[in-house]
Amino acid sequence: MPKYLLRLLTFTLILGAFPVISIGIISYYIATGDIEDKVKEGNMQVLLQTQMRVEQVMKTLELTSIQYVNSSLVSSSMGETITADEFPKIRDLSKGLYNLQTIAGISDAYLINFDKNWFISFKSFQTLDSHPDAEQFKAFAKYPNSLFWLTVKPKAPAGQDAAAEETATSPDTVRMVYKIPIVPTTSKPKGLLVVEILNNQISNLLSQNNKLGDVYVLDRDGNNFLSDPSGSRYTEINRMVMQRFASSGEEAGFFNANVNNKEMGVTYRHSSYNGWNYISVVSIKEITKQSRAIAWITFIACTVIFLIVGLVAFYGSRRMYSPIKRLFEFTKDIAVEGQDDKDELRSIEGRFRTLFSTEKQLQQQVKGQFMQLKEFFVLKLFAGQVSEGDFGYRAQMFGFPAEWHRLGVLTLQIDSLQGTRYREHDRELLLFAINNMVGELIPAGRRFSPVLLDQSQVTLLTSEAQDDQEAKREFYETAEEIKRKVQEFLQLPVSIGISLPFVKVTNAARAYGEGLEALKNRISLGHEIIIHYDDIEAGKKGMEVTVYTQLKMLEDQLVNAMKLGDMDRVEELFRQYITAILDKEVHFNEYPVLMIQLISKVLQLVQEQGGTVRKVLGDRATIEHFLKLNTMDDIRTWFKEDLFKPVSAFINQQAESQYINIASQMVKLIHERFDQDISLESCAGTLNFHPVYLSRVFKKEMGINFSEYLAEYRMNMAKTWLENTHLKISEIAEKLNYTNTTAFIRTFRKIVGMTPGQYREQFKKD
């Protein structure tokens, strides 16, 4: 039998038999699967309802307990020593405990005061030490959470005597423990509220529908704390469920397990609320009993159909093979090296492929290389590496425009990816997409090949306009169309710089530079602009010395405000800083230089506080990242979110961790009251320490006497005022609480080495 005929017959048999067999198998498994799915869905709904019932009870109890614990009666009682004689107080507290019985099954509740050694329950009022579970209650204080549930008797904490565990009672209850007050970071609360719920109360909330299998609950450690016989039979299933939670973290699911040579279907749900695990176990045999009859009926029907398909396939294949045989005989004179003529169809394919493959490969290769050569030539043009003579030859070869009256360059850049659905690593892909869009929007006769160059999309346009103004209008309309399409399809903010019109194509490199220069105006004009190079305001005045002095003063004040943790003051000073730059019309090329000075001072502040810049600020708060910002809105956001915010958090953290340091508090007092009559005695009165002790601590911590530090700080403030203000020396002495100007001058000369007047004159010269 010919090879292709054999394949055709085999294929026809498979094609006819496969649907029949597939339908039979699918029918069986669909029937079985539907039954299993219904049981799974039913069990999952039962578990969900069971979980909701149990958690609703627990949440109701928690809410009632929180209201009771936060009541003024309990809050005031935590600081009082209550005796058995104070019946009204005990009665009021007991009444609150009774109100916790929002559900049946609460066996007891305890309001415990560790500091005053008493507790109140449903049954009695006693000293805490007299209760058999006293050590266990004390062990509850060691738990990290403020509110938690215990399903089994807890073990004694590490390092603690195990006597508490041995003497404690272990009733069949679940305990809710609430620390008073909420102190998650300490193990020494004032007291506890402990509520005990009988296990059988929770068991009553579980589903009792045996048709859907056995339902039981495990705690977060896999313990069957309700002592339900169903849960104890399925120890291996419980272990498998806990392993699934630990390995995959899935909160719900279904799997099959073999228990005592019986295949069981296990449905489970994990509660993120308290870590309990709700499990339902049902026999797979019971589920699939009805589907076995379907399997036999399907098998018989499929066998009959398969025999019929075999007969039809045999006669049909012979008739379908005859055209292939004639074509094979017709092309047998075309020899193909290494071709197996026993396979008729493959032989025919090889003969035709040999005729056309070489030509097709050559066409594709030439086309791909041609497009790359065109873009490479345009890149050389923008780099100024193409002469007039070379351009004439290449332009004709690449099919570029040959005639024009005016040329112009559009330079497009993405403004910012913040607030969009894109990330920084998408920038190159987005520019590539924009480049393709430009190639489709602008007809090939009006442009050269669009290219990507240094994070910009650059297009060289031609125009038939006779004057520059008409050409500028035409270039602007084209830029508007590109910007509109980018916003429509990519929802991306872009800006476009337009060069001056020119005639010689070799001036494209200069025009590209003009487009980049125009785009720099985004710092003052904002996002999504289209700007001509000749619209740039030229000849701006240089920055005056007074502007620099004002900015320097604002920088120093801003850093001092950050040291004090006053973020409102920091934001206000930064607003003034930006306003000063914009109002004085500082040229956009000077923005980075000025702001880098402020950035350096903030980074120096981090180092002075004992931190590392990379650890505190991360990768975004770098000079390199700052220099990539294009608009003033981006600059403001970067300063506030990436620089000021993390630095302020770091300084606050440092101040909080060192708050107990007396020397730091004294330094803070000096910084706050340097212009008042401050002394060791006044600091001692504020901090409630003896002056001699404060003097010794300050000297040890700061390495300098209190009076010397105060004098140096005042002189530093004096130097700041001498540098940045026109205050008289007598006025500065008065502001620093010196009643005698001579004493101020003498102190200044001693610390600085020159008189205030000499210092001011020297600063002006510098």
Are 646 and 743 members of one domain?
no
Return the CA Rg of the chain: 43
Tokens of 206: 């579980």
Q: Is the dihedral of CA 562, 563, 568, 573 positive or negative?
A: negative
> Residue 82 CA to chain centroid, in angstroms?
51
Are 197 and 132 members of one domain?
yes
Expressed as residue numbers, the domain containing 93 is 70-203
Distance CA 470, CA 492 (A): 29
Residue 431 has pLDDT above 60, yes or no: yes
Q: Which residues pair with 253 in a beta bridge?
A: 268
- pLDDT value of residue 334: 67
Which CATH number fits the domain that encloses residue 138?
Answer: 3.30.450
Distance CA 605, CA 105 (A): 61
Instruction: Find where tokens 């337009």 sit.
Output: 498
Distance CA 429, CA 492 (A): 13
Q: In what order do the strands lie in the sheet with 214-218?
A: 214-218, 277-283, 262-270, 252-259
Q: What angle do CA 428, 432, 434 make, to 5 degrees?
A: 115
Are 648 and 512 members of one domain?
no
* Other residues' Cβ atoms within 10 Å of the Cβ of residue 667: 18
Are 392 and 496 members of one domain?
yes
Distance CA 736, CA 713 (A): 10
Residue 166 has pLDDT above 70, yes or no: no
Residue 341 located in a structural domain: no
Which tens digits make up the pLDDT trace of 673-692? 888 888 889 888 888 888 88
Domain boundary among 502, 535, 568: 535
Farthest-apart Cα atoms in the chain, separation:
126
Which CATH number fits the domain that encloses residue 670?
Answer: 1.10.10.60
Kindly indicate the confidence band of residue 542, based on its pLDDT and cuts at 50, 70 and 90.
Answer: very low
Are 391 and 454 members of one domain?
yes
Residue 268 located in a structural domain: no
> Residue 753 CA to chain centroid, in angstroms?
54
Distance CA 263, CA 434 (A): 59
More confident residue, 475 or 522: 475
Is-contact 479 465, C-beta < 8 A?
A: no
- pLDDT value of residue 155: 53
- pLDDT value of residue 343: 66
Q: What angle do CA 405, 406, 408 make, to 5 degrees?
A: 160
Residue 329 located in a structural domain: no
- Mean predicted confidence (pLDDT) in 396-423: 86
Tokens of 589: 């090329």
Are 388 and 514 members of one domain?
yes
Could you tell me which of 94, 90, 88, 99 has the C-alpha nearest to residue 66? 99
Distance CA 547, CA 585 (A): 10
- pLDDT value of residue 160: 44
How many helices (H) and strands (E) the chain has is answered by 30, 15
Instruction: Find where tokens 């009672």 sit.
Output: 169
Are 672 and 621 members of one domain?
no
Residue 96 located in a structural domain: yes
Distance CA 763, CA 758 (A): 9
More confident residue, 632 or 644: 644
Is-contact 216 228, C-beta < 8 A?
A: yes
What pTM was estimated for this model as a whole? Answer: 0.39
Residue 143 has pLDDT above 60, yes or no: yes
Distance CA 204, CA 199 (A): 9
Is-contact 594 578, C-beta < 8 A?
A: no
Which CATH number fits the domain that encloses residue 422?
Answer: 3.30.70.270
Are 580 and 500 members of one domain?
no
Are 513 and 377 members of one domain?
yes
Are 508 and 549 members of one domain?
no
Q: Omega into 181 within 30° of 0, i.e. cis? A: yes
Residue 320 located in a structural domain: no
For 278-289, the DSSP string reads EEEEEEHHHHHT
Residue 484 has pLDDT above 50, yes or no: yes
Domain boundary among 203, 237, 268: 203
Query: In the 8-state DSSP scheme, what is residue 212?
Result: G
Distance CA 384, CA 51 (A): 74
Are 423 and 499 members of one domain?
yes
User: Quick one: residue 260, left, alpha or beta (phi over 0 = left, psi -120 to 50 = alpha)?
Assistant: left
Could you tell me which of 602, 586, 646, 601 has the C-alpha nearest to residue 620? 646
- pLDDT value of residue 460: 92
Residue 167 has pLDDT above 60, yes or no: no
Number of domain units in the chain: 4
Are 579 and 436 members of one domain?
no
- Mean predicted confidence (pLDDT) in 754-766: 85
- Mean predicted confidence (pLDDT) in 585-600: 71
Could you tell me which of 644, 625, 431 has the C-alpha nearest to residue 555? 644
- Mean predicted confidence (pLDDT) in 703-724: 90
The burial of 579, by beta-carbon neighbours within 10 Å (0-12 exposed, 13-18 middle, 19 or more buried), is given as exposed
Residue 254 located in a structural domain: no
Encode 386-415: b = buried (16+ Cβ within 10 Å), e = exposed: beeeebeebbeebebbeebebbbbbbbbbb
Residue 621 located in a structural domain: yes
Contacts of 688 (CB under 8 A, 6+ apart): none
Query: In the 8-state DSSP scheme, what is residue 542?
Result: P
Residue 567 located in a structural domain: yes
Contacts of 203 (CB under 8 A, 6+ apart): 226, 228
Domain boundary among 632, 657, 682: 657
